[in-house]
Amino acid sequence: MIANLWQDLRYGARMLRNNPGFTLVSMATLALGIGANTTLFTGFDLLLRPLPVRDPDTVVSFEYQSGYNDRDMSFPDYVHIRDHAQTFSDVLASAEEKFLMGKKTSDSAPEEIKGTFVSDNFMSSLGGSARLGRFFTPDENRVAGRDAVVVLSHRFWQRRFSGDPQIVGQSLLLNGKPFTVIGVTAPDFIGLRMEAPDVWVPLMMRAAMATVYFEEVEVVNRDWFGKQDFYWLNLHARLRPGKTASEAQAEMALLYSQLPRTPPAPDARATVNVVPASRIRPDTSFWTVMGTAT
């Protein structure tokens, strides 16, 4: 039996050697098929894998929908929901942003990194822990633009600072503004996206930060915290023990109807839906996930 197998393998190898065109086409077809299947199953694994946070089944996200338009929420929306909701133990706010780390000089350019502005309870509510130092305190997220502190993701700390154990207390420049490093996250904490940002910054620092456009820092004066119709926040929450998503949905319908309004009048079709939290943004297509998987 083994002799026959060996003979068949030798015959197959001889045929492939004598037909190089057929061999190349066969190899390319196999490679494409294996690659496509690997990407497909990896993508489905990312979609179906539970969030790497504490009690992921109790974490939900808010989706604002108006006809065919989806958008984020405003800071006054967040404050109203945070202060009045009874079905949630925590309401979390976040906003992703690009930063330029370092200051441009004649012989070097700043590095573009991924950052996320977060409420002070973001990491603790999700069950994150610090590898070094600590996370933000409520006081550091109380006054707009006052507390320039930053937490590094574990991966970024390893890549950019070679795992320097003395990193806490050091200063780094984000969009030309000095920030003090107060902590490094544990390796397994990535938040609610498919991968951790490079840095986490207090939500209230958004007012003091310039915005990055095409790898250039541009100062844009905006009312980040006062305008009802300025939508820039992703909102998430953790359900209280014993509460269900359907109860939270009913409460959100009531809270949304009570939100303070500024002209123009809101779309009558608009709703805020409570959905299971996901590392994939609502406007991210499945094929974007496929690309991330590869």
175-180: long-range contacts, CB 8 A cutoff, minimum separation 24: 175/99, 175/100, 175/209, 175/210, 175/212, 175/217, 176/100, 176/103, 176/210, 176/217, 177/148, 177/208, 177/209, 177/210, 178/148, 179/148, 179/149, 179/150, 180/148, 180/149, 180/150
62 shares a domain with 44: no
Separation between Cα atoms, residue 121 and residue 130, nearest integer Å: 14
* Strand locations in 196-290 (E): 199-202, 211-213, 216-218, 234-239, 271-276
Q: Which domain holds residue 39?
A: 2-48
Beta pairing class for 177-185 and 149-152: parallel
Total count of domains within the chain: 2
Separation between Cα atoms, residue 97 and residue 78, nearest integer Å: 18
65 shares a domain with 42: no
- Whether the per-residue pLDDT at 261 is higher than 50: the answer is yes
Sorting pLDDT into bands at 50, 70 and 90, what band is 41?
very low
134 shares a domain with 81: yes
Spatial neighbors of 268 by CB under 8 A, at least 6 apart, are: none
126 shares a domain with 19: no
Q: For residue range 141-195, list pLDDT tens digits in order.
A: 999 999 999 999 999 999 999 999 999 999 999 988 999 999 999 999 998 888 8
280 shares a domain with 258: yes
Q: For residue range 77-114, list pLDDT tens digits in order.
A: 999 999 999 999 999 999 999 999 985 444 467 889 99
The last residue of a domain, from among 48, 64, 85: 48
For the question of whether the overall pTM of this predicted structure is more than 0.85, the answer is no
Residue 92: name the closest of 130, 141, 133, 44 by CA: 141
Spatial neighbors of 257 by CB under 8 A, at least 6 apart, are: none
User: Do 133 and 123 contact (CB within 8 A), yes or no?
Assistant: no
42 shares a domain with 179: no
- Whether the per-residue pLDDT at 211 is higher than 70: the answer is yes
117 shares a domain with 42: no
pLDDT of residue 26: 64
Q: Which range scores top for mean pLDDT: 65-74, 195-204, 258-267?
A: 195-204
Q: CA 244 → CA 66, 127, 158, 175, distances in Å?
A: 24, 20, 39, 42
66 shares a domain with 7: no
208 shares a domain with 63: yes
Mean pLDDT over the full length of the chain? 80
263 shares a domain with 184: yes
22 shares a domain with 68: no
114 shares a domain with 134: yes
